[in-house]
Structure 1
Amino acid sequence: MGIWTRVIESICTCGGKGEEMSSTGVRLRINDHHVVIDNGIVQVTLSNPEGLLTGLQYNGLDNLLEVLNQPGNRGYWDVVWSALDDSGRKGVFEVINATSFKVIVETEEQVEVSFSRPWDPSLKGKLAPINIDKRFVLLRGSSGFYTYAIYEHLGSEEWQAFSLGETRIAFKLRKDKFHYMAVADDRRRYMPLPDDRLPGRAQPLAFQEAVSLINPVVPEFKGEVDDKYQYTCENRDLMVHGWISHDPPVGFWQITPSNEFRSGGPLKQNLCSHVGPTCLAVFVGAHYAGDDQVPKFGQGEPWKKVFGPVFIYLNSTTCGQDPLTLWDDAKRQTMVEVNSWPYSFPASEDFPKSHERGNVRGRLLVRDRYIQDDEIPGNGAYVGLAPPGDVGSWQRECKDYQFWSEADSSGDFSIKSVRCGEYNLYAWVPGFLGDYRYHLPITITPGCDINVGNLVYEPPREGPTLWEIGIPDRSAAEFHVPDPDPKYVNPLFLNNPKSNFRQYGLWERYGELYPYTDLVFTVGESDYRKDWFYAQVPRRKEDNSYEGTTWQIKFRLENVQRAASYKLRMALAGATLAEVQVRVNDPNKARPLFTTGLIGRDNAIARHGIHGLYWLYNIDVSGSLLVEGENIVYLKQPRNQSPFQGIMYDYLRLEGPA
């Protein structure tokens, strides 16, 4: 039953999982300091006029939020921003405290309220230079509430230039109630308490936010590592996550039915739920990408964006049911929300309804004559619409909206409910290198249904494959991920191939596996699943300093066309203040054949990611550098100021002459 299940099978409630618990109309009460919205199932209390969520009543609990916290630290929207001028304001964390309250809709079917915080030049250097309108919506019969916000930077020279490092919604739940967390089917468990991270109960580890639990309240957690980055999710999988209380059996879930307002596309990784108990909805953030994912706005640059709505869903079990089944119910409710998108109820004219949007469909094929003569269906391809830009620019785009779909086994795709505007169509196909961009812009108008027909992607290719290492899928997951140091284990990820890379400290295992010499991979003999370490990182020396590493790829060529050109394709799944220098058959040559230069700030290695941003390099290798017989490609990563500097490879391929 688990270590927290002192909560008893006899616990029962009169409520249930569905939304049929009450037919009471929605009621609104306003006083000098609070606004209360109630539909007979859920009661939401917001501070007036700040718009901070101070109370959430459901299923006999007078407040699901942490009552020990100050009212302003329970449920809130926040931003992290920096001025792009000489004012010196950098990395400012700001909880959005509104200054004006307004009722938008008040009927028995729906209440929508607005808490707004305007900006003007007198606030320069004090608040983020954006108008913010936070909305909260409660519907009749709904077992939860919705929230969204409209951000705006006006096109006037008085409006300060700034960057938006992060914006999100944060919920702090009651630590005496919510002990079981679920972010995915293979990542759900009873969690340590926030108290377990305090001095005396935890030992800080080398990377910020990670601790080893040395004297936890619940002894069974002793020796575990707790780190919120172990629970991050990619946008494509970040639809529902949250917490379960056993007494009473209640679930708190954050459901995001669309990713259109999240930055960075389907592979962007974000925080979600972690010890606190904390539940987040992150819309903009630099995690696993660095400054490339921080939108920057010039002085007077006009911009407006709607974040959300997201749904905060509450559920409970009936008598005799296992409270952990609330996770399954939350997943079912997520599909209800997805099928209801775009919502019809938001009152803001900045949120377009279904009839105000358009659709795009077509079929993506892949043409690679060195694999087969016929065109190959883009099975599983990610096809999306994002603002116009260069090939692959979608992964760094962070100001506007993106719309993505996954192609079926025939390569057919359908991108639905797209906001009006001009886009490029982008795609990438698992199993093939590179990025696709449709050569024509696509303009979405209300009600349009655009069929682009058959699109053909020709991935980078100049000659036949002489050898390849890995799978071109923008991830290092197929490579060797070592077992964790027994001192730094999170048991959730043991015997879990999908998440084994999430263990703390795996970067240090490289030096233990290769204490004196670096990795050597022999084509035709080595197996990349066992013999290619998942990250090329520095090696710790005996004096605890670090040194750069040089990996070797050994391969034989029977015939070399010395006057021809060969091509080395090097796709990287992530990079953190690192460099790859490529040399062929001479490791000591002063100038490398190729260098990436210093690249990357994704911190994916330290934050237990298996990828960050994607990089693709196409390197010419003169046949004069090669010999008949054994050849060696040297991959040197010389940066060594920190153990977290490194490269994660996605895929390498050497092509012969065309």
Structure 2
Amino acid sequence: MSSRPVQLWIKGNHVVMDNGILQVYLSNPGGFVTRIQYNGIDNILEDLNEDFNRGYWDIVWSESGSTGTTGTFERIVGTNFKVIVENEEQVEISFTRMWDPSLKGKLSAVNIDKRYVMLRNSSGFYSYGIFEHLKEWPAFNIPQIRIVFKLRKDKFHYMAVADDRQRFMPLPDDRLPRRGEELVPPEAVLLVNPVEPEFKGEVDDKYQYSSENKDIKVHGWISSESEIDPPMGFWVIIPTNEFLTGGPVKQNLTSHVGPISLAMFLSAHYAGEDIVLKLKPNEPWKKVLGPTFFYLNNNTLLDSEDPLELWEDAKLQMTEEVQNWPYDFPASEDFQKSSQRGSVSGTLLVRDRCLSNDDIFAQGAYIGLAPPGDAGSWQRESKGYQFWTRANDEGNFAIDNIRSGDYNLYAWVPGFIGEFWNNVVITITPGCEINVGDIVFEPPRDGPTLWEIGIPDRSATEFYVPDPNPKYINKLYVNHPDKFRQFGLWERYAELYPHEDLIYVDGVSDYTKDWFFAHVTRKNDDGSYKGTTWQIKFNLDEVNTSVIYKLRLALASANVSELQVRVNDQKQDPPLFTTGVIGKDNAIARHGIHGLYWLFSIDVPGLLLKEMDNTIYLTQTIATEPLALFHGVMYDYIRLEAPKS
């Protein structure tokens, strides 16, 4: 490591941050990262690209009242450059882009301050952004905010996003028409004539490398030994998910073919329009996104010849960054330091008298503070900050370093359906230490379980995930616990059930083998699609016709679907229950095993049931072209309860 002081060079249309370990060049005043010099390489970014297409912030926005998750793509171009901090230990620089009414319809209606920070003796640099919308400015929507880095395709070929999710990757050229065949959805490409023959017949799709917010802490690329000696790594390190949207299990993109690495702050992926940030008339908004750390390492520094040691070192650096959060160096007053934050602790218990006469420790519960809302509103929340932790085996939890502000307390417990929501505003002030004591979650329950399918964990992981069509393989996920990330698994349903839909028999069927992971449409011989009806068959020894039974239906995902429920009459009209048209999370098409969570509690009159043989019919009705193959739901858990006793 170098011990040189940090230096800032301002040279006409670019500025350079230099600490002797690496040099980062940025356009002035645009604020694009145009060159990173490290490890003897003049530029690790793709210098075949234009200067503005190497390292940049971008935003997607749309007019107020528009629907969907698309909009105008805007690379954020600074118009003013300013030095914020310049000393031997730190350089912090700012590139601002201000908005005024003359820019209406041309640029997103926010002031944006892009900050870059370099510290002494640090093998990397930081970036964070401050976004502000003033009350008098027009309402509008923001589906996406991110940072993008595009590395040199001739040097970086090995990608790592987790210990068991890393591999040599195809080239971006392999996705071009003469080498790749575009599939549906178009992000997926079948490699028919790749530059490297080893990739022939594989599917490449950036969504196969998505991760949950709680797991996106480090990802990136390692250079090929033949291209850079010694090999080096480029890593995106996100030390906290407090500024990410949608809570801890919201999924986001990481790194993918390019070679490209992303820091996704806001996206509609795996959630849909529900999570688009919609600023209302007369609504002020301000948020700090980041800092994220962009870390570089090489084998010489590690005294190792194994390039994979770069991944191990990146994980160690990630741990250090997490331990240092919240950072003490950002100069913006909008970034709250540790002394400006507070903490909340307590114990979460579960009360389910059908399982235990005593309260149950909420082992492994997800417990978080998020902006005030309703039960479960955190998974659709995109404007504020969220702070989450996991309870220990005794249900104890502590959430530290919470930004000052007003929050509700939310929780959900693996193994139990439903949401805990404390409709009491918790106000965090600097230095506060709030102990909420024992809090009790009473999950939805009327009576004892008559039968159940699955595990209430907000995921379809436990259900049957088929092997992929051999024509559409990603070799990484062969014999892999995340086999659901393979392409085209939705098409396997009609192959496994060619003549009739799924029938599940309580007490006989095994949901790990007999319950398909996604309730999808069926492809007809003419290429069209139609809705499908699944059956659950069960016996009841006795039925009380004068009371109400309860069907709990928990969904792990829904995409433009209407799920209808009928009991013992497939032609029952109207159905006993319908969800109406719900969901746009698109998790099926994007190889996610869950999207947004839904819970429905359905009254089943005893008059509809009978002793011995019963059947519940679940019909997903919608099969609208052109994307009928992706209409469907993923179940989390289904339970029929006896009446209250």
| TM-score above 0.5, yes or no | yes
Kept after mapping to 2: 8 A contact 1:137/1:145? yes
Kept after mapping to 1: 8 A contact 2:343/2:402? yes
Identify which of 485, 503, 514 aligns with 1:502. 485
Q: Kindly tell me: are residues 85 and 388 of structure 1, through their superposed partners in 2, closer, same or farther at Cα, counting changes over 3 Å?
A: closer
Partner of 1:438: 422
Q: CA deviation at 1:155?
A: 1.3
Q: CA deviation at 1:439?
A: 3.6
Please give the per-residue CA displacement for 1:479-530, whole angstroms capped at 9, x wherever unaligned: 0000000000001001012x10000000000000001100000000000000
Partner of 2:270: 288
> Is 1:519 aligned to residue 502 of structure 2?
yes
> Is 1:209 aligned to residue 191 of structure 2?
no
Kept after mapping to 1: 8 A contact 2:406/2:425? yes
The runs of at least 4 aligned residues of structure 1 exceeding 3 Å deviation read none
Please give the per-residue CA displacement for 1:457-483, whole angstroms capped at 9, x wherever unaligned: 000000000000000000000000000
> Is 1:615 aligned to residue 598 of structure 2?
yes
Identify which of 467, 491, 494 aligns with 1:483. 467
Partner of 1:185: 163
Identify which of 109, 119, 127 aligns with 1:129. 109
Partner of 2:406: 422
Please give the per-residue CA displacement for 1:115-151, whole angstroms capped at 9, x wherever unaligned: 0000000111110000000000000000000000000
What is the alpha-carbon distance in structure 2 between the residues aligned to residue 172 and residue 35 of structure 1?
20
> Is 1:305 aligned to residue 287 of structure 2?
yes
Any idea what SS the aligned residue of 2:311 has? helix
Partner of 2:350: 366
What is the alpha-carbon distance in structure 2 between the residues aligned to residue 361 and residue 57 of structure 1?
45
What is the alpha-carbon distance in structure 2 between the residues aligned to residue 440 and residue 547 of structure 1?
46
What is the alpha-carbon distance in structure 1 between the residues aligned to residue 390 and residue 495 of structure 2?
40
Any idea what SS the aligned residue of 1:488 has? coil
> Is 1:391 aligned to residue 389 of structure 2?
no
What is the alpha-carbon distance in structure 2 between the residues aligned to residue 374 and residue 80 of structure 1?
51
Q: How does 1:163-562 map to 2 (within 5 A)?
A: 163-246=141-224, 247-248=228-229, 249-318=231-300, 320-497=304-481, 499-562=482-545
Counterpart of 1:45, as a letter, is: Y
Kept after mapping to 2: 8 A contact 1:583/1:593? yes
What is the alpha-carbon distance in structure 2 between the residues aligned to residue 201 and residue 289 of structure 1?
32
Any idea what SS the aligned residue of 1:335 has? helix
Any idea what SS the aligned residue of 1:529 has? helix
Kept after mapping to 1: 8 A contact 2:69/2:268? no
Q: Kindly tell me: are residues 649 and 309 of structure 1, through their superposed partners in 2, closer, same or farther at Cα, counting changes over 3 Å?
A: same
Any idea what SS the aligned residue of 1:525 has? coil
What is the alpha-carbon distance in structure 2 between the residues aligned to residue 423 and residue 620 of structure 1?
33
Identify which of 593, 597, 603 aligns with 2:580. 597
Partner of 2:608: 625
What is the alpha-carbon distance in structure 1 between the residues aligned to residue 572 and residue 357 of structure 2?
41
What is the alpha-carbon distance in structure 2 between the residues aligned to residue 481 and residue 314 of structure 1?
38
Any idea what SS the aligned residue of 2:471 has? helix
Identify which of 525, 546, 558 aligns with 1:563. 546
Counterpart of 1:574, as a letter, is: S
What is the alpha-carbon distance in structure 2 between the residues aligned to residue 85 and residue 192 of structure 1?
40
What is the alpha-carbon distance in structure 2 between the residues aligned to residue 602 and residue 440 of structure 1?
30
Q: CA deviation at 1:591?
A: 0.8
Q: Kindly tell me: are residues 487 and 135 of structure 1, through their superposed partners in 2, closer, same or farther at Cα, counting changes over 3 Å?
A: same
What is the alpha-carbon distance in structure 2 between the residues aligned to residue 362 and residue 174 of structure 1?
49
Kept after mapping to 2: 8 A contact 1:144/1:314? yes
What is the alpha-carbon distance in structure 2 between the residues aligned to residue 508 and residue 192 of structure 1?
25
Q: CA deviation at 1:304?
A: 0.4
> Is 1:579 aligned to residue 562 of structure 2?
yes
What is the alpha-carbon distance in structure 2 between the residues aligned to residue 363 and residue 424 of structure 1?
16
Q: TM-score, normalised by structure 2?
A: 0.97
Q: TM-score, normalised by structure 1?
A: 0.95
Q: CA deviation at 1:440?
A: 2.0
Q: How does 1:92-131 map to 2 (within 5 A)?
A: 92-131=72-111
> What do you get for the CA RMSD once the two structures are aligned?
1.3
Identify which of 75, 81, 93 aligns with 2:55. 75
Any gaps of 5 or more consecutive residues in structure 2? none
What is the alpha-carbon distance in structure 2 between the residues aligned to residue 412 and residue 178 of structure 1?
44
Partner of 2:636: 650
Q: CA deviation at 1:85?
A: 6.2
Kept after mapping to 1: 8 A contact 2:69/2:143? no
Q: How many residues are paired up?
A: 635
Q: Kindly tell me: are residues 45 and 51 of structure 1, through their superposed partners in 2, closer, same or farther at Cα, counting changes over 3 Å?
A: same
Any idea what SS the aligned residue of 1:460 has? coil
Kept after mapping to 1: 8 A contact 2:464/2:515? yes
Partner of 1:4: none
Counterpart of 1:153, as a letter, is: H
Partner of 1:42: 22
Counterpart of 1:354, as a letter, is: S
Kept after mapping to 2: 8 A contact 1:522/1:553? yes
Sequence identity percentage: 65
